[in-house]
Structure formats: structure tokens, C-alpha cells
């Protein structure tokens, strides 16, 4: 008995081809075949995160990274609704120009995804998009929330909600007018930011959320994906813009992510000193077993008295010999002239472990007289004054820094800010100890 073959998914095959091979195959199709392929969405080009969710929902939030396909999903959803001649749809963007440029006339906008013979007509002076079926969409700017007071709609598509400057008022007026028809619904497509409105929407009843990342789109050029992954993967910006993660600043934190973004720079040519700060793990020294994380951060000082964070070589769950080797490697890589290590866990033991790993640089052992947050506060002030730069993006280190709270407390990842503490020791050695303000006592 012959076995029936699985049907070929032509779109999946095309998506797996190189751009040149895809163009070659498309040129061999008839116009009708090309049109049918290009217009097939549900059951075709749409990925799981781009198809409308099933069930009873009022708000569908697509929270995803750039290039995921949010705009295409929104345009296809609205296009399907526009088959109903009575549909009255609100198109809301940060500005009217954004609605026109992205949602209507963009490469994945309403006019681009329309089926042959059903392209909607956009009348700019009326702010209307009208389909041959009789359905109408109305253009609104979140900057002018009063425009949404009064009109009734059967559906709404809100794009880049995180950019709305007067978002709360616009959203409230929109939702109060979303009362036409039996089951009015709204789709929100956005790359997230921790705005008050985003948090409100995430708490809404009847919300269904779709998450996605830039890398999920197989049609993006691989060279583009590789470049942005290399440049931003693991950073706060990358987590937000590529992974669709909402990265929040904590109220009262010593560092904000916005502050750290202003501190980016390149490695200068005039470094006069380089030190490696070390926050040894709390466990593992006495019995030689692996302890907690060991913070290891290299910082250099330039001729103008500005500190530059050069590298984060911190290690987790390493034996004393393991983290000591990591310290030695970091010092060699950055040509450090001193190692500064906390000695609260046993100064003599820290010294012997580092010496055994051939750390032959001058070693300063410091004993903390205050808690981690108190030690970090004068260093945070140096950042605010533009006296510290980051020569690269150090995601794990920066997450810990943004978890240190003014007045005490830690709300970042892990049990303790080991990386951030190593940074504080290094910067303090370079910029605060000569003036007697470090709050530490050398051993």
C-alpha cells in the first residue's frame, strides 16, 4: 500500500531559501500563482504569533522586538475586519504622520497587504481609509486625545503604544468609544517601554498577549540579524528592542539605564592606571570548594581623571583557584598595575589564593566599613558628573548596578551585587581613595 505524502508547505520552503534562490523560484511562477502566494496570510505567511488568538478577548497585545512582524500582523487583522461593510475602525499612532507612514502606506501597511482589487482609498484631508466593502478606518494621533472623545468604533489598532506622549488620555478616550458592534476589540502592536500606560494595559482584563523577538522572523536578512545580535544581545537596549522585554528602572535606584546609556565610550589611548576590582565569593575559601559569584571588573583612569570600565570578567560557582585564575587573566588582558580585593571574607586567605594563581601585581586588600550600597553611592555620583565611562556594554554588571537602591537594599538579579561591588572597589581605588573618601581601610 502506497503511503500518502505530506503536502508541501510552499511558503515554508520559500522562507528557507536564500534571497537569490527565492527570487529565481518566484520568477518561474505565473502571475496568478505569485498573487495567491503573496496574499495568503492565515495558513500561509502568518507565524503563530501573528495570527489572532482564539477565544474571548478584548485586547490583543503583540509585545515584540523590532522586525518581528508586528505591523504586518496589525494590517492583516484590520484588513480581515474590513470585509464587514459596517466596520468602523480606529487607527491610532503616536502622531498622524506615524499612522500614515507606517500603518497605512508602509511596506507592511494596510495598502500594501490588501488583496488585488480591494486596496483601500486613503483620503488625507478627511483622515479616512475606506475599503471597497464600505468599511472605514479613521486616523487618530495620540498627541491629540480629544479627537477620540465621542466617536464610536467596532475595533481599533494601536501602534507603538510605548511612544505615546499623551497615552493615558488617548487610551481612555479610545476605550470609552469602543462600543460599536457585538464584540469590539483592540489590537496593540508595540516594542515595549516601561511607561505607565504599558503597565496599565498589561493589567487589563480580557488581555491576551503575544511575545516575540527580532530573531523569530525568518525573512529578515541574516546579515542584519547577526549584526544587531552582536551589537546589542544581552544589553538592556537589546532586551527591549530585540527581545520585546520590558526593562524597568527601579524607583530610587542609584543608577538608571538611561544614565548608563549616556556613559558609553571607547577605550582611550591615554590610560595612566588600570586596576582590577575583586569581590571574592562568600563561600569556598576555607574548604577549597566553589563558592558564590566572584566579581572581577577592570577599570582604567585616563589623563583627564575620567575612569573607564574596560571589562567584566566575573565568574560564578568557581573554586578559589578558578576565580583567582580569572583575576589573573583579566589583569593580563587589560595590563593592570594593581588588584584591589575585598578582604572581609579573610584577608590572608584571599592573598594566598591570588598569589597561588600567579597574580604577582601589587595587591591592595580592603576591608569594608560600610555596606555595599553605602560604598556605591559616591561612585554613582561620579557617574552623574560624567566622570565614569563604559567601554562597551556589560549587561550582567549593569543589571546589578540598576538594582542597588539609594539608602540601602538590593533588588537586582542574584543574591548579591558581586560585579557591581567589584566595580565600586576599582573606581574607588582610582578616584576616591587618594582623597580619603572611599570609606575603606587598606590592609
Query: Angle 217-222-225 (CA atoms, 0-180°, nearest 5)?
Result: 70
Residues 6 or more apart from 172 whose CB is under 8 A from it? 145
Q: Phi-psi region for residue 398, left (φ > 0), alpha (ψ -120 to 50) or beta?
A: alpha
Higher pLDDT pick, 330 / 240: 330
What does the pLDDT read at residue 193? 81
Average pLDDT rounded to a whole number, residues 401-408: 88
How do strand 271-279 and strand 295-302 relate by DSSP bridges?
antiparallel
Three-state SS letters, the chain: CCCCCCCCCHHHHHHCCCHHHHHHHHHCCCHHHHHHHHHCHHHHHCCHHHCCCCCCCCEEEEEECCCCCHHHHHHHHHHHHCCCCCCEEEEEECCHHHHHHHHHCCCCCHHHHCCCCCCCEEEHHHCEEECCCCCEEEEEECCCHHHHCCCCCCEEEEECHHHCCCHHHHHHHHHHCCCCCCCCEEEEEECCCCCHHHHHHHCCCCEEEEEECHHHCCCCCHHHHHHHHHHHCCCHHHHHHCCCCCCCCCCCECCCHHHHHCCECCCCCCEEEEEEEEECCCCCCCCCCCCCCEEEEEEEEECCCCEEEEEECCECCCCHHHHHHHHHHHHHHCCCCEEEEECCCCHHHHHHHHHHCCCCCCEEEEEECCCHHHHHHHHHHHHHCCCEEECCCCHHHHHHHCCEECCCCECCCCCCCHHHHHHHHHHHHHHCHHHCCCCEEEC
For the cut 80, the answer to whether the pLDDT of residue 236 exceeds it is no
For the cut 90, the answer to whether the pLDDT of residue 208 exceeds it is yes
**pLDDT tens-digit profile of 343-362?**
876 556 788 888 877 677 88
Higher pLDDT pick, 234 / 306: 306
What does the pLDDT read at residue 26? 83
Do 309 and 383 form a contact (C-beta atoms < 8 A)? no
State what percent of residues in the chain have pLDDT above 70: 90
Average pLDDT rounded to a whole number, residues 116-141: 96
**pLDDT tens-digit profile of 92-117?**
999 999 999 999 999 999 999 998 88
For the cut 70, the answer to whether the pLDDT of residue 19 exceeds it is yes
Query: Angle 228-400-379 (CA atoms, 0-180°, nearest 5)?
Result: 110
**pLDDT tens-digit profile of 288-339?**
444 578 999 999 999 999 999 999 999 988 888 899 999 999 999 999 999 9
Confidence label for 155 from pLDDT (cuts 50, 70 and 90): very high
This prediction's pTM: 0.59
What does the pLDDT read at residue 165? 82
Rounded distance between C-alpha atoms, residue 220 and residue 395, angstroms: 25
How do strand 338-342 and strand 271-279 relate by DSSP bridges?
parallel
What does the pLDDT read at residue 111? 95
For the cut 60, the answer to whether the pLDDT of residue 2 exceeds it is no
Amino acid at each position: 500500500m502506497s503511503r500518502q505524502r505530506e503536502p508541501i508547505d510552499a511558503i515554508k520552503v520559500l522562507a528557507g531559501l536564500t534571497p537569490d534562490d527565492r527570487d529565481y523560484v518566484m520568477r518561474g511562477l505565473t502571475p496568478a500563482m505569485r498573487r495567491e502566494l503573496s496574499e495568503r496570510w492565515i495558513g500561509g505567511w502568518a507565524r503563530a504569533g501573528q495570527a489572532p488568538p482564539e477565544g474571548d478577548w478584548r485586547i490583543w497585545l503583540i509585545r515584540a522586538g523590532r522586525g518581528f512582524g508586528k505591523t504586518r500582523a496589525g494590517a492583516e487583522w484590520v484588513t480581515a475586519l474590513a470585509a464587514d461593510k459596517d466596520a468602523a475602525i480606529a487607527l491610532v499612532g503616536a502622531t498622524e504622520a506615524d499612522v500614515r507612514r507606517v500603518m497605512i502606506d508602509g511596506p507592511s501597511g494596510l495598502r500594501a497587504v490588501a488583496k488585488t482589487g480591494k486596496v483601500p482609498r486613503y483620503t488625507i484631508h478627511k483622515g479616512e481609509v475606506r475599503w471597497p466593502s464600505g468599511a472605514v478606518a479613521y486616523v487618530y494621533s495620540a498627541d491629540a486625545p480629544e479627537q477620540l472623545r465621542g466617536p464610536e468604533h467596532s475595533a481599533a489598532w494601536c501602534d507603538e503604544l510605548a511612544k505615546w506622549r499623551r497615552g493615558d488620555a488617548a487610551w481612555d478616550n479610545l476605550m470609552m468609544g469602543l462600543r460599536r458592534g457585538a464584540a469590539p476589540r483592540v489590537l496593540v502592536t508595540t516594542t515595549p517601554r516601561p511607561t505607565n500606560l504599558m503597565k496599565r494595559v498589561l493589567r487589563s482584563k480580557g488581555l491576551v498577549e503575544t511575545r516575540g523577538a527580532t530573531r523569530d522572523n525568518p525573512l529578515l536578512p541574516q546579515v542584519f540579524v547577526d549584526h544587531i545580535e552582536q551589537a546589542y544581545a544581552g544589553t538592556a537596549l537589546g532586551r527591549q528592542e530585540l527581545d520585546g522585554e520590558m526593562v524597568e528602572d527601579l524607583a530610587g535606584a542609584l543608577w538608571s539605564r538611561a544614565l548608563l546609556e549616556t556613559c558609553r565610550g571607547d577605550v582611550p589611548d591615554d590610560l595612566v592606571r588600570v586596576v582590577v576590582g575583586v569581590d571574592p565569593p562568600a563561600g569556598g575559601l576555607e574548604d577549597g570548594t566553589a563558592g558564590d559569584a566572584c566579581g572581577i571588573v577592570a577599570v582604567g583612569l585616563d589623563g583627564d581623571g575620567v575612569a573607564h570600565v574596560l571589562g567584566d570578567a566575573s565568574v560564578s560557582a568557581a573554586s578559589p583557584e578558578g576565580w583567582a585564575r580569572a583575576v589573573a587573566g583579566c589583569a593580563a588582558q587589560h595590563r593592570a598595575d594593581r588588584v584591589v580585593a575585598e578582604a572581609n571574607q579573610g584577608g590572608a586567605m584571599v592573598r594566598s589564593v591570588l598569589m597561588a594563581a600567579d597574580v604577582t601585581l601589587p595587591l591592595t586588600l580592603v576591608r569594608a566599613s560600610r555596606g555595599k550600597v553605602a560604598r556605591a553611592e559616591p561612585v554613582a555620583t561620579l557617574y552623574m558628573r560624567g566622570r565614569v565611562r563604559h567601554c562597551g556594554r556589560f549587561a550582567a554588571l549593569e543589571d546589578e548596578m540598576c538594582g542597588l537602591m539609594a539608602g540601602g537594599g538590593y533588588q537586582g538579579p542574584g543574591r548579591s551585587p558581586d560585579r557591581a561591588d567589584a566595580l565600586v572597589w576599582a573606581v574607588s581605588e582610582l578616584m576616591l581613595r587618594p582623597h580619603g573618601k572611599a570609606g575603606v581601610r587598606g590592609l
